[in-house]
Amino acid sequence: MKTEPSRTVRFSIALLAPVVIAAAMALSWPLFESNPVTIFLLAVVISSWYGGLWPGLFSLGVSLLAANFFFIEPYFAFGVPDRSKVVQMAVALVVGAFLSVVCESLRKQRARAEAEKVAAKNSEDQLDAMVNTIPQLAWMAHPDGYIYWYNDRWYEYTGTTPEQMEGWGWKSVHNPEFLPTAVVAWQKAIADKIPFEMEFPLLGADGVFRTFLTRVQPLKDDDGNVLKWFGTNTDVDELNRVHKTLRDSQEKLNSMLAAGSIGTWTWDIVADRLSADAFTSRMFSIEPERAAKGLPVEEYLKAVFEEDQPGVSAALAEAIATCGTYDVEYRVRQDTKNFTWLEARGRVDCDSKGAAVSFHGAVMDITERKLVEGQVRQSQAQLTAIIGSAMDAIITIDNDQRIILFNTSAETMFKCESKQAIGQSIERFIPDRFRASHGDDVRRFGKTHATTHSMHSLGGIFGLRGDGEEFPIEASISQIETNGQKFYTVILRDITDRTRAEERFRLAVESAPNAMVMADNDGAIVLVNSQAEKLFGYDRSELIGNRVETLVPERFRSRHPEYRARFAAKPQVRSAGAGRDLYGLRKDGVEVPVEIGLNPIEMEGGTYVLSSIVDITARKSAEEEVRRLNEELEHRVEERTAQLKDANKELESFSYSISHDLRAPLRHIDGFVKLLSTNEAGRLEPTSERYLHVISEAAGKMGMLIDGLLVFSKTSRATINAVRVDLNLLVSRAMHELGHEMDGRTIRWNIADLPDVQGDATLLGLVVTNLLSNAIKYTRRRDEAVIEIGAKGEPNNRVTIFVRDNGAGFDPEYATKLFGVFQRLHREEEFEGIGIGLATVQRIMNRHGGRVWAESEVDKGATFYLTFEKSQGDRNGHEEDLAGRR
């Protein structure tokens, strides 16, 4: 702003201006000779414009004097000029004076305008400053609603920049939900030119919408046109909250008063009159009317518990002495049993000399609070007792790891007394190598919002006893925050014994001859032994923590968790996969046939399943081998049976052809020998006759041999139809058959009752016939032959039959030869025979699983023994008897 020029300057200009004009005229002389006055009016105008009326008039005077002195005749003198010049000067005087006045007024007008402008500028600056200091958001808009200015609070709150807010940028901080309504209302206000008020949320820089009360006021000119709009946004969230709090406490107070748990009193100390309201009087068991009138304080104190009275009196006295306040808690008796806890507060008013005059106060029933406090104290005491008696060590530390609680178990565990531990760093009880990581762990835990967690460390965590011994522990930690300070409570358990037991278990598992894998309830492997490593080809570090399904072939894997669940539901020692072939999957992808035994193990942390796994590859292949061998054997047996059958068939056809083809020539020999001897009867030499006889005999003998062989071979091939056989019947049948051989003989038969035996009736009949035939034959030379047939019982359901004779006997040295085919111990001349009978007997007995043997001495008879399978059951009335008696 320009300042007014000083008076000196103004008058200097008024003097200088005519001088300059005069100089200019002098230089351009005689140009202005005719009118040397008018030009000076220019100086007057300049002077009065800058300096005002008086400098203008001063300049006019100077100009007229200068014009008269220099440029009007007589020159350089103040003479009276001619008429024209006088007129000129008079006109100039008038015009100059007028110009001065005009300029003066113009100048004033300009100065006023300038002052106004300055004032306006000042007031706008003030508004800016003011608006920026108010706590509200504020802004200004053109009449059309275009906001061209916001205060700093706006930018602070919204976190926007003027560029972003340019024009209609404010819409970006509105909640889209409320924006349309706000825009419509704002437009209506603009159109109607009326103030506008509305609540809507605005987005803060922190991303939160808060509710603002927006007020907009139009600034109008005299014609009622809107010049601009002023707007403010007031955060009413906070306001609403304050209102609510206020309302709440008001209500609380009201309700307390209404419920009658607060009372007031006033004590006129000078007069010792204490007046109280209804609640107070009730508390002190005084009639309300008397209390309202006022009573000596002693009356009130009577109700106070005797032991609380000294405290109350002392507090009252102190408040009175210091003109101070009073705050005590005490009990008042309601009756003999009940009492109420009161909190009393008051203030003493003193006069100017410091003498107590009156005492105002209130009492409040705090029985309930006291009760709660008591409970809290009690539970605290309990907690302390629990902590003290806990089996686990309990240690509480603050944020700086200083111990503030150290219970009895902790003392025992760490071999350190509580008073020595309190205030120490917890690190004192942590082995060196764990200290750094322990601090990190605790800090990390402190940053989480978890309240508890168990502490882990690879390979377990350890504590350090006062005597320097390390020991394994199990620990869990919890945190609480009180008054902004963190506390950590650690619960520790000495697991030395358990660790030892676990170690022993581990060693036992490790030394087991089978592969062993232990998994937890979720199927995660927790333990494997080296046999398992060997079996599955994994390193144990690869297995621990992995799922047990890793070891199950892909095709069974999906079903495996179900099997596990089934075992978990009924955990007992058993083998896995009954009836199924089980396979393990090696790391190299090879499947191994296995047998698995399952064993539930109860341990800290739940039930585990210990599986013992046996690789049965070798057994499987052995089983396979056995099966293969069996099959081969069976195959061989079949083959041999077939061969045997073939052989039997051959033998059969062989004997068939023997019976046909060998007998025919013998018949022919004998037949033709007979024909020859018939034809030549009487003509032959006696020697020739004898030859023919020998030929005939030999043929006959040959025939018998053949027949014997045929019978013998038949006994080998014949099927045994085992039935119950009555030996008595067989004996009598044989004797009948052999009747012709006994012609002319004296034979004494001693035949015992014989048991039934199991066998083929026809073949056994042949046996009996053969033995009896022999007995008859070899007793031929006895005058009285004695033939005895008997039975001896044997253990094991066997029976021995013997046939004893008093015949020729045989040399026992050759007893074994007796049963050979065509073996004979007697010469033909002594006893005829072909040596096939006993061979046949032996063959038949062998085929019955029985035995035949003989005892004898030469000339002392012989005994033949037969052992049989004894037939079961009663001989009589058995169906099979009939078959046996055929």
Question: What is the DSSP track for 169-219?
Answer: GGGGGB-TTTHHHHHHHHHHHHHHT--EEEEEEEE-TTS-EEEEEEEEEEE
Nearer Cβ to other proteins, position 310 or 700?
700
The three-class DSSP label of residue 265 is: strand
Q: The tokens of 267 are what? A: 């004590």
Nearer to other proteins among residue 670 and residue 881 (C-beta): 670
β-sheet bridge partners, residue 747: 785
Nearer to other proteins, 554 or 646 (CB): 646
CB 330 within 8 A of CB 324: no
Distance in angstroms (rounded) separating the CA atoms of residues 531 and 524: 19
Q: Does 356 bind other proteins (CB under 8 A)?
A: no
Neighbour count for residue 741 (Cβ, 10 Å): 14
Q: Is 740 in the site for other proteins (CB under 8 A)?
A: no
Q: Which of 670, 726, 760, 881 binds other proteins (CB under 8 A)?
A: 670
Q: At what angle do helices 53-66 and 7-28 cross, to 10 degrees?
A: 30
Q: How far is the CB of 672 from other proteins (least distance, A)?
A: 7
Residue 674 interacts with other proteins (CB under 8 A)? yes
The rounded distance, in Å, linking the Cα atoms of 578 and 618 is 20
The least CB distance from residue 723 to other proteins, in Å, is 19
801 vs 836 by CB, closer to other proteins = 836
> Is residue 7 close enough to count as binding other proteins by CB under 8 A?
no
* Under rule CB under 8 A, residue 659 binds other proteins: yes
Binding string, 683-712, against other proteins, x = CB under 8 A?
-------------x--xx-xx---------
| Burial degree of 873 (CB within 10 A; 0-12, 13-18, 19+) | exposed
* Min dist. Cβ of residue 656 to other proteins (A): 6
Report the run of H or E that residue 706 belongs to, with start and end. helix 686-717
Tokens of 334: 């309601």
Q: Which of 672, 749, 853, 865 binds other proteins (CB under 8 A)?
A: 672
The alpha-carbon radius of gyration of the chain (Å, integer) is 73
Q: Is 834 in the site for other proteins (CB under 8 A)?
A: no
Residue 823 makes contact with other proteins by CB under 8 A: no
Name residue 226's beta-bridge partners.
220
Give the separation between CA 454 and CA 477, rounded to whole angstroms: 6
Sign of the dihedral defined by the CA atoms of residues 556, 561, 562, 566, in that order: positive
**Alpha helices, DSSP H, located in 390-431:** 408-414, 418-421
Q: Which helix (H) or strand (E) holds 602?
A: strand 591-603
Closest CB to other proteins among residues 571, 703: 703
Q: Is 664 an interacting residue with respect to other proteins (CB under 8 A)?
A: yes
Q: Which residues pair with 214 in a beta bridge?
A: 198, 233
Among 402, 500, 668, 792, binds other proteins (CB under 8 A): 668
CB of 853 vs other proteins, minimal distance in Å: 31
* Least spacing, CB of residue 673 vs other proteins, in Å: 7
CB closer to other proteins out of 151 and 696? 696
d(CA 401, CA 427): 8
**Is residue 720 a contact residue for other proteins (CB under 8 A)?**
no
> Could you tell me the two tokens for 832?
């005829």
Pick one of 671, 693, 797, 886: the residue that binds other proteins (CB under 8 A). Answer: 671
Q: Which 617-656 positions form the footprint of other proteins (CB under 8 A)?
A: 656
* Piece of 175-183, 277-285, 672-680, 835-843 that binds other proteins (CB under 8 A): 672-680
Binding mask 69-108 for other proteins (x = CB under 8 A): ----------------------------------------
Is 261 a binder of other proteins (CB under 8 A)?
A: no
Identify whether the C-beta of residue 323 lies closer than 8 Å to the C-beta of residue 350. Answer: yes
Identify which of residues 452 and 679 has a Cβ nearer to other proteins in the complex: 679
Relative to beta strand 461-464, strand 452-455 is unpaired
Contacting other proteins within 183-202 (CB under 8 A): none
Q: Is 230 in the site for other proteins (CB under 8 A)?
A: no
Residue 597 to residue 762: CA distance in whole angstroms: 61
661 binds other proteins (CB under 8 A): yes
Minimum distance, C-beta of residue 660 to other proteins, in the bound complex (Å): 5
Nearest distance from residue 676's CB to other proteins, in Å?
Answer: 10
Could you tell me which residues come within 8 angstroms of residue 115 by beta carbon, excluding any fewer than 6 positions away? none
Nearest to other proteins of 140, 666 (CB atom): 666
By CB under 8 A, name the binding residues for other proteins. Answer: 656, 659-661, 663-664, 666-668, 670-675, 696, 699-700, 702-703
